[in-house]
Each structure stands twice: as structure tokens, then as C-alpha cells.
Amino acid sequence: TQLLEQSPQFLSIQEGENLTVYCNSSSVFSSLQWYRQEPGEGPVLLVTVVTGGEVKKLKRLTFQFGDARKDSSLHITAAQPGDTGLYLCAGNNNDMRFGAGTRLTVKP
């Protein structure tokens, strides 16, 4: 059983579309991180959110931490083929536990 549930598990869209992926838990976290992983590589940190309700933007990516610090969302505007990858959320207390990820494919 995953501590963090990510949805959808798979997402395939056309270039230029917008999308949102979700990360949900029944646990409260002191912080939450999003990572992107490509085949054959380790996950790469995208963002850390710490405060409930916090919103962070990274170019076309918008990350939100839920008010109760139990959930988070990642919104991508005008997706590009280079956004293709596995998006992982990780909840932090004394250590970090990952969700199973959303595998995103952006078709040209």
C-alpha cells in the first residue's frame, strides 16, 4: 500500500494541451517534493513545498501544496514533448516516501 497515491497513473496528451496530476495522502507532511525521472536515470528534484496552501511556479509548471499539507497538485501549461517522463511526489517527515508516479507522454 502506497503512503502517497498519485493519479492518474498514466497520461498521454498532445503537445500544447494542459494537464494536472495529483498526489494524495491521509498523512500530514512537513514538506512535499516533486521529482521528474527519465528512463535509466535517478529522479531529479523539481520543487519543494513547505507551507500549507503554498503555490510555486517553475516556468510552465505550477505546484500547489494543500492547506492541510496532505496533498499536492502539479499543473503543466502547454505541454511539450520534453515534458515526457515519470513525475513522482514525495512526502517528507523524518525521511522521504514516494508515490508510484504519473507516467506522462506528450506527443508532438
Residue from 42, 59, 82, 108 touching another protein (CB under 8 A): that is: 42
Residue closer to another protein (CB basis): 15 or 41: 41
Q: Is 1 in the site for another protein (CB under 8 A)?
A: no
Q: Is 12 in the site for another protein (CB under 8 A)?
A: no
Site for another protein in 87-106 (CB under 8 A): 88, 90, 92-101
Site for another protein in 71-90 (CB under 8 A): 88, 90
30: nearest Cα among 88, 87, 97? 97
Reported in sequence order, the residue ranges of the chain that DSSP labels E, i.e. its strands, are 5-7, 10-14, 19-24, 31-37, 44-49, 55-58, 61-65, 71-76, 85-92, 96-98, 102-107
Q: What length does the chain have?
A: 108
- Enter the C-alpha cell of residue 52: 500549507
DSSP structural state of residue 38: -
Residue from 7, 48, 64, 73 touching another protein (CB under 8 A): that is: 48
Instruction: Give the residues lining the site for another protein (CB under 8 A).
Output: 2, 4, 6, 30-31, 33, 40-45, 48, 50, 88, 90, 92-101
